[in-house]
């Protein structure tokens, strides 16, 4: 079964990061706990709920592991040499960055692969899939990190968290959801 996730990545798809510095930053800001549960599985830290806003009345997710139940954990994404699709939701429908309109029939075979072009049926421009406006329903990057067991639009990052990420890396960050 696929796990739904909230994924963070640099806005500019070709950027790379220093993962040691990322982990130190997330631990220092208490977004994650510094003792790993398993390889590359960090539990939410004491400030997790002040850096992520859950939009429902109460988060429907365990922040600590309970026997036989799903729980939130944070993992870093293995860095790749080229931007790759990090995931997508069932309702994904990108907008063209040139004319700003939604693109019909955007889903060509191989759209998740690096360097593929998408043709806009409204303005006829060709754009790299990684450069489309995905409205947080997908994202392309070489690196990043993800929170498991967050449903699409169930939670959003605070400005404070995005500022922490741009502060350590020197560039702006984006986020998206995936159910795939
Ligand atoms: Zn267009």
Q: What is the pLDDT of residues 73-86, one digit of tens each?
A: 999 999 999 999 99
Read off the pLDDT of each residue in 24-43 and give the average, rounded to a whole number.
93
Contacting residues for 25 by C-beta, under 8 A, at least 6 apart: 164, 165, 167, 168
Residue 58: per-residue pLDDT: 64
125 and 70, same domain (yes or no): no
Q: Is the pLDDT of residue 123 over 90?
A: yes
24 and 98, same domain (yes or no): no
Measured in Å, residue 155 CA sits from the centre of ligand 1 at 30
Residue 114: per-residue pLDDT: 84
Measured in Å, residue 76 CA sits from the centre of ligand 1 at 34
153 and 83, same domain (yes or no): yes
51 and 122, same domain (yes or no): no
124 and 151, same domain (yes or no): no
Measured in Å, residue 134 CA sits from the centre of ligand 1 at 13
Split at pLDDT 50, 70, 90, the class of 113 is confident
Q: Is the pLDDT of residue 46 over 70?
A: yes
Read off the pLDDT of each residue in 7-34 and give the average, rounded to a whole number.
96
Residue 68: per-residue pLDDT: 81
Spatial separation of the C-alpha atoms in residues 92 and 114, rounded to whole Å? 18
Spatial separation of the C-alpha atoms in residues 81 and 151, rounded to whole Å? 28
C-alpha dist (Å) from residue 158 to 11, 40, 113, 147, 171:
16, 24, 30, 15, 17
Residue 70: per-residue pLDDT: 86
Measured in Å, residue 132 CA sits from the centre of ligand 1 at 10
45 and 125, same domain (yes or no): no
Question: Does pTM top 0.85 for this prediction?
Answer: yes
Residue 170: per-residue pLDDT: 97
63 and 146, same domain (yes or no): yes
Give me the residues near ligand 1 (ion), CB cutoff below 5 Å.
Answer: 96, 98-99, 120, 122-123
73 and 112, same domain (yes or no): no
Which residues form the domain of 53? 5-88+139-178
61 and 16, same domain (yes or no): yes
pLDDT averaged over every residue in the chain: 93
Residue 59: per-residue pLDDT: 65
Residue 40: per-residue pLDDT: 94
83 and 99, same domain (yes or no): no
Q: Nearest 5°: CA angle at 103, between 102 and 106?
A: 140
How many domains does the structure of the chain reveal? 2
Q: Is the pLDDT of residue 106 over 80?
A: yes
In this structure, the number of other CB atoms found within 10 A of the CB of residue 113 comes to: 11
pLDDT tens digit sequence for 132-172: 999 999 999 999 999 999 999 999 999 999 999 999 999 99
Considering the chain, what percentage of its residues have pLDDT values greater than 70?
97
Read off the pLDDT of each residue in 109-136 and give the average, rounded to a whole number.
94
40 and 77, same domain (yes or no): yes
28 and 72, same domain (yes or no): yes
């Amino acid at each position: 079964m696929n796990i739904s996730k909230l994924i963070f990545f640099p806005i500019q798809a070709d950027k790379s990061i220093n993962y040691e510095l990322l982990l130190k930053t997330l631990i220092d800001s208490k977004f994650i706990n510094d003792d790993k549960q398993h390889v590359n599985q960090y539990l939410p830290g004491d400030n997790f709920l002040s850096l992520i806003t859950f939009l429902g009345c109460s988060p429907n997710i365990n922040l600590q592991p309970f026997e036989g139940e799903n729980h939130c954990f944070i993992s870093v994404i293995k860095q790749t040499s080229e931007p790759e699709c990090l995931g997508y939701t069932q309702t994904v429908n990108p907008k063209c960055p040139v004319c700003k309109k939604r693109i019909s029939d955007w889903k060509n075979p191989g759209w998740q692969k690096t360097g593929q072009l998408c043709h806009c049926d409204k303005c006829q421009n060709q754009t790299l899939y990684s450069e489309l406006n995905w409205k947080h329903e997908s994202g392309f990057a070489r690196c990043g990190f993800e929170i498991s067991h967050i449903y699409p639009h169930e939670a959003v990052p605070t400005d404070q968290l995005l500022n922490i990420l741009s502060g350590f890396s020197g560039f702006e960050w984006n986020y998206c959801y995936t159910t795939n």
